[in-house]
Structure 1
Amino acid sequence: MSRYDTRIEIWGMDRNLDLNAIINLLNRNYDIPIDYLTNFERLDANEKTLHNSWLPSNNRNFLIETLEIAGRPIECINAIGQYEDMLGPQRGIVNGTPLPREVRVFNKSVNAVFFDYEGRVYCALDASSSQGGRIRSLLFGQRRGNRIEEWGTLEFKNIDFYTIDSRFFYWVFSKRGQTLTLPNQNNSQINVVDISAVSQLAPRNAYDSTSQGANILESLQALSGLGSNQSIYNGGFYFQKDNLFNMFLKIDSNCACTIDTGRSNIKNGNDFDLIQNNFTKAVLTIYTFLFPGLKALFNQEQNSGQWNHAQESDQRKQWALEVVKELCEENNINIRELQQIIP
């Protein structure tokens, strides 16, 4: 990822938890002992402990705040998770002596927004894919053998509104350049300005390909994959809504998204501002307005027959024809030569 990219994951909290229960959990102590240092009696408790905790983002106490997102009030809690990682015993102990704490322990942090949407609490956080499991273990009570039962069951895949499949990607790709009216968002409109990335998996997982760049649907590599019905697992988009946001996003099938913060912005008061300065609003806009709105429109068009297998097949055919046309032009292939190889 570039230095302007911020990756956001979305997790579903246990269905029995509300935001007040989340505050109680955020106030707990998450320190854990470093098992391989237990027998080093000369080390003090701090040396033998990983310190993990939740802190309020802007206040002394955790607060439930209400933000208006596209005309809808959304309750949320902002928090910073601080956690420590460490070297294992093979590297953390040299010649029988533990290394100094500052050498074997590393401080890390994660910004998190807990929010209530449609009667369930979710958490969106800026976590890399490699750190997700560690964060769940240390800060969400999911540590194997030492679970905090009050957290209950945490879902990080196949979550309610936040799971999309290849058919959804094909549908959004077909909307490039269009203005969409979102049925569950007071008929708000968004523009699908451009498609900037396509990640595809060939049948039987034979090979994987990723295409990136402006107007990617004019790329032969991307179009040939789409025309042959390859499975899509990630897409890059430029979504725009007048007087609200310009979002450059890469989205995967579990609705984890990478925001290009160098190009994206969001309305704050009377002006547009950087995503970094409006992390909570940006996250809530994506996960309570943009994704649910697109999913609702996709389902509506599927149920009404406006987007069905025949429509999808026809769209793929148009993409495939674009590939054939461009290859013919590039290689001076005429119609008679094509007819000779087509049964």
Structure 2
Amino acid sequence: MAGKEIKLSLWALDPTINIETVSDLMQLNYNKIIDYLEDRNDISRFDKTLMNRWREYDQDRGFKVQEIEVFGSAFRYISAYAYFETTIGHDTAIIDGTVLPRERRISENELPVFFFEFIGRVYVVVSGSQYKINNIRTLLMGHGRHTNDEQKQWKRVQLKDIPNFNFTSDFFYWLISKENKTVETALVKMDINDIRFLAQSGTERSDVRHESQGANILDEAVSKTGLGVNSRVDMIGTTISFEGGHINLIIFDNGVCWVDNYNSAMNGITGELEAFEENLEMGALTLFCGILPELKTAYNNDKNNNLWTTEHQAKARKLWALGAINELCSENDITYEEIIELEWFLK
């Protein structure tokens, strides 16, 4: 079972790889001999082999390419489990020359992985913690030591600057401005219900990083001050409601998303709401094929139609700055006479 947060990382496959290629690559042999046991003849081949492989997400579908409709558009995808085994080190696996039983030195790991085509490229969404998902690339995508030529057919996996899923600070300022409003595109209406997490870092005068979390954080002087001085925003937490569900999440600037499993739900097959984890395939694909791209579309539409310009952002920053000043005056009983004695007003 997932905990409170479902962590969804995003990668992009090499542009030469299509979704059918992925289906073929999943059926390669990814088993790996444990280095320090390779020359041991007193144990079986199985006991010294890590049994790494892709497993079917749904046995009835296997690794066949599927199609899903998100907000009226069709996307091709493959869902799978990345299964890999990890082992303890040499010094703890071998005691007085005797190799411990397999079950005492090898751990099983299984993470859901979703491959989908978007604008001519295959993207990968992986659910799991960072230290575990790194093993998927090294053990199951041809990036590990002793990888054979066949496994290297995965080619390059892009981890940074993911096309179509990079979010700028200006995008996040725009999203903040949409708090408690409806964002609408040709495909979907999305209600931005709150801003509950905000990560700010760096201005022309400072390199300080600050994170705020909780209800009504935009009413707090610290958050308003950071926005007012044009700090860089690289993470936003909000709740997005749409026909089909609502997702409480944190969006990172590199497309990574952390979904609050306890406060997110998707419509199931019967139309009943299900926890995000219970409908992870639909939830992940809706998020990355629909929600995030449509937010970016709405942002670009506002930019192209001069509904969000540098002047709009400057005006918003001024309002946040004034709000911070008002909050600080209230908290510290600062008078008008004291305000006008500040250096800025004496110029």
The two structures have a TM-score, normalised by structure 1, of: 0.93
**What one-letter code is carried by the residue in structure 2 that aligns with 1:154?**
V
**What one-letter code is carried by the residue in structure 2 that aligns with 1:82?**
Y
1:265 Cα deviation after fit: 0.7
Q: How does 1:226-245 map to 2 (within 5 A)?
A: 226-241=227-242, 243-245=243-245
Q: Which residue of 2 aligns with 1:281?
A: 282
Unmatched tracts of structure 1, length 5 or more? none
Q: In structure 1, the residue corresponding to 2:334 is in which secondary structure? A: coil
CA distance in 2: counterparts of 1:208 and 1:85, whole angstroms? 36
> Would you identify which runs of 4 or more consecutive aligned residues in structure 1 move more than 6 Å?
none
RMSD of equivalent CA atoms = 1.9
Contact preservation (8 Å) 1:227, 1:316: yes
Unmatched tracts of structure 2, length 5 or more? none
CA distance in 2: counterparts of 1:322 and 1:74, whole angstroms? 44
1:97 Cα deviation after fit: 3.8
1:295 Cα deviation after fit: 1.1
Q: Which residue of 2 aligns with 1:14?
A: 14
Percent identity over the alignment is: 28
2:184 to 181, 198, 206: 181
**Cα distance change of structure 1 residues 205 and 95 upon mapping to structure 2, 3 Å threshold:** farther
Q: In structure 2, the residue corresponding to 1:163 is in which secondary structure? A: coil
Contact preservation (8 Å) 1:161, 1:291: no
Q: In structure 1, the residue corresponding to 2:43 is in which secondary structure? A: coil
Q: In structure 2, the residue corresponding to 1:131 is in which secondary structure? A: helix
How many matched pairs?
A: 338
Contact preservation (8 Å) 1:198, 1:211: yes
Contact preservation (8 Å) 2:141, 2:152: no
Q: How does 1:1-343 map to 2 (within 5 A)?
A: 3-60=3-60, 61-146=62-147, 148-182=151-185, 186-203=186-203, 206-241=207-242, 243-268=243-268, 269-343=270-344
Q: In structure 2, the residue corresponding to 1:141 is in which secondary structure? A: coil
CA distance in 2: counterparts of 1:138 and 1:219, whole angstroms? 46
1:222 Cα deviation after fit: 1.9
Q: Which segment drifts farther, 113-122 or 299-308?
A: 299-308
1:303 Cα deviation after fit: 3.2
Q: Which segment drifts farther, 114-123 or 267-276?
A: 267-276
1:145 Cα deviation after fit: 4.8
Contact preservation (8 Å) 2:221, 2:325: no
Contact preservation (8 Å) 2:192, 2:240: yes
CA distance in 2: counterparts of 1:274 and 1:42, whole angstroms? 49
CA distance in 2: counterparts of 1:111 and 1:334, whole angstroms? 58
1:311 Cα deviation after fit: 1.6
Contact preservation (8 Å) 2:34, 2:48: yes
1:165 Cα deviation after fit: 1.9
Q: In structure 2, the residue corresponding to 1:161 is in which secondary structure? A: coil
